[in-house]
Amino acid sequence: MATAFEPLKNDLIIRTALGQNVERTPIWIMRQAGRYLPEYHEAKGNRDFFECCRDPEVASTLTLQPIDRFDGLLDAAIIFSDILVVPQALGMVVEMVDKKGPHFPEPLRAPDDGQYERVLGKAVDVAAELDYVYRAITLTRQKLRGRVPLIGFCGAPWTLFCYMVEGGGSKFFIESKKWIYRYPEESRALLQKISEVCVEYLALQVKAGAQLVQVFDSWAGELSPSTFKRFSEPYLAYIAKHLPIRLKELGLDPVPMIVFPKGANQSLDSICDLGYNVVGLDWLISPADALKIKGNRPVVFQGNADPGVLYGTDASISQTVEEMVKGFGGGKGGWIGNLGHGVTPFVKPEALKLYLQEVRRLTER
């Protein structure tokens, strides 16, 4: 039996994601919690990053910080966690190195390295391994008291695959490319394994209280149109197809699904057919071009200003928002406001506040 929560007072993002006409454009921001907020550092103290994710009290506090700070200007919260909890559930060690990012001491180096077989063969107990995320989601829903919906998320199979074989962030994606061009079959087997865990993980997030889900394919732009078709799209489609099936088995209603295939605008046409309600756009495509590619398909777009505009002047922020709003046709629906990627370090919270205010001002009817 799912926990009962207070009814939603603001369901704009859900109605927009489902393609309904709305009174104004909803907005949330990728990485709206985190490093650029002074209160994040205060609450985190000298705790390790993953320790914060594993403590539902801390994770829910961090999730709510931007909602409280930008009181009424954000239309959704996103659970404070990380995409790399899935490789951890698959049995890999992942550390978060301060000021450097994620580090896997033992990445997957080749199909015969022993680890690959272990990861592939692991019977993952997704409920037990990631129990702390579900508890954080349920607690956050309680603390939100229906103010805005809560978004759950996971990394896309391709993006998680990159981290698992590179051992962290990467510049040239040497290991990822070695895998897909030398061991395509073994790569596909691993991508399928990750996809299955992602479906179960997202379903259990919904069971715990997540009201929408987003799949982050942050490294989609490292693939060519043809390799994106082979090594990312089938797995994104698998998640979109199987999540509703799994939710039904669990006696739960489907939730709106968002996909964010960063850097893959060359494949936007087929991305619109992957089965997601919402497609997140980065800032390398204009709203007009994206709308042209979409045609009359029922997909809703999300995004997409350059996050770097938040380092600019107030006038440059206003101008960027104006162009974006005009590009997406005003506040008529069919669009969820966001940036084209997450908030970057050293952004002043006041700059983000202005961005949110400008979207509100220009899309309210």
Q: Of these, 169, 234, 263, 330, which contacts ligand 1CP (CB under 6 A)?
A: 169
Residue 159 region, left (φ>0) first, then alpha (ψ -120 to 50), else beta? alpha
Token duo for residue 47: 């705790």
User: 200 or 217: whose CB is closer to ligand 1CP?
Assistant: 217
Q: Pick one of 13, 37, 76, 83: the residue that binds ligand 1CP (CB under 6 A).
A: 83
Name the residue among 208, 184, 232 with its Cα closest to residue 132.
208
* Binding track, positions 85-124, relative to ligand 1CP; x by CB under 6 A: -----------x----xx----------------------
Find out whether 216 and 279 touch, Cβ atoms under 8 Å. Answer: no
Binding mask of the shown chain, residues 203 to 242, with x at each position contacting ligand 1CP by CB under 6 A: -------------x-x------------------------
> Nearest approach, Cβ of 175 to ligand 1CP (angstroms)?
13
For residues 92 and 83, the answer to whether their CB atoms sit within 8 Å is no
Q: Identify which of residues 84 and 124 has a Cβ nearer to ligand 1CP in the complex.
A: 84
Nearest-5° Cα angle at 217, 216 to 221: 145
d(Cα 55, Cα 164) in Å, to the nearest integer?
A: 24
* Cβ-based neighbour number of residue 98 at 10 Å: 8
> Which lies closer to ligand 1CP via its Cβ, residue 261 or residue 287?
261
The site string for ligand 1CP over 145-164 (x = CB under 6 A, - otherwise) reads --------x-----------
Whether a cis peptide bond, with omega within 30° of 0, leads into 46 is no
Question: Measured from the CB of residue 176, what is the shortest distance to ligand 1CP in angstroms?
Answer: 12
Helix axes 56-69, 131-144, angle to 10 degrees: 40
Asked whether position 342 contacts ligand 1CP by CB under 6 A, the answer is: yes
Mark 6-35 with x for binding to ligand 1CP (rule: CB under 6 A) and - for no binding: ------------------------xxxxxx
Q: Specify the residue, 19 or 169, whose C-beta has the smaller distance to ligand 1CP.
A: 169
What is the C-alpha to C-alpha distance for residues 118 and 193, in angstroms, rounded to an integer? 12
Interatomic CA distance for residues 12 and 18, integer angstroms: 10
Question: Closer CB to ligand 1CP, residue 138 or residue 218?
Answer: 218
Return residues touching ligand 1CP (CB under 6 A).
30-35, 49, 78, 80-84, 96, 101-102, 153, 169, 216, 218, 342
